[in-house]
Chains A and B, each alone.
Chain A
Amino acid sequence: NAGVMQNPRHLVRRRGQEARLRCSPMKGHSHVYWYRQLPEEGLKFMVYLQKENIIDESGMPKERFSAEFPKEGPSILRIQQVVRGDSAAYFCASSLTPTQNTEAFFGQGTRLTVV
């Protein structure tokens, strides 16, 4: 899973600031998924994107959160006006195709701390 690159690995933000998390998928992968892992909780799906399209955002909070995967460059998960409850590990995964026979590879995650 070293092929999925996330940065930064650790991010500290004060309440009210914006957090930008970046994800570069494995080479050749055009499907990207974001998950959030709260302390003592399981991974929760947030959003699924293909290049320039949001396919499924059923797990995204309605406010303050947005995601994009532009034609060029990494996928970005943006959290505006962060609050303490946003502190969590955010993981990105990518896959070659959307079929169920394709495993998704995860990155190392970005650990967001809101102070």
Chain B
Amino acid sequence: EDQVTQSPEALRLQEGESSSLNCSYTVSGLRGLFWYRQDPGKGPEFLFTLYSAGEEKEKERLKATLTKKESFLHITAPKPEDSATYLCAVQAAGYGGSQGNLIFGKGTKLSVKP
């Protein structure tokens, strides 16, 4: 069964304290791995798409990496405004070519204290 597991469930950091969030997956053929940010009461906001092992993408203080079994979201020198829930999702082969039908993890709730 295709599955996505995120860890830790919650992470508290001090401002400037770098860390990483983990997303491990088991899927029958990976079409793509996606990272989203979700603020309370809001919809997910797209961050990155990764397609193949070894790929890396960066955006401001965030960097996403991908291996054959997991992805990491590295947060460098976080600020309080980075506080949110970060969601990881995969698109498995066997589904249609759309980005719909994503399999989501439960997310990591990040809190950054000033």
Contact = CB atoms under 8 A, between A and B. Distances in A.
Contact of B96 (A55, A59, A93): A55
A105 B46 CA distance: 7
Contact of B100 (A6, A33, A107): A33
B103 interface: yes
Interface residues of B, number: 29
A56 to B, nearest CB: 6
B79 interface: no
Nearest to A32: B100
A48 B46 CA distance: 18
Interface of B: 4, 31-32, 34, 36, 41-46, 49, 51, 87, 89, 91, 95-107
30 contacts: A1-B44, A1-B45, A4-B43, A31-B98, A33-B98, A33-B99, A33-B100, A40-B106, A41-B106, A42-B4, A42-B87, A42-B106, A43-B87, A43-B89, A45-B101, A48-B101, A56-B96, A91-B44, A95-B98, A98-B96, A98-B99, A99-B97, A99-B98, A100-B91, A102-B99, A104-B99, A106-B36, A106-B43, A108-B43, A109-B43
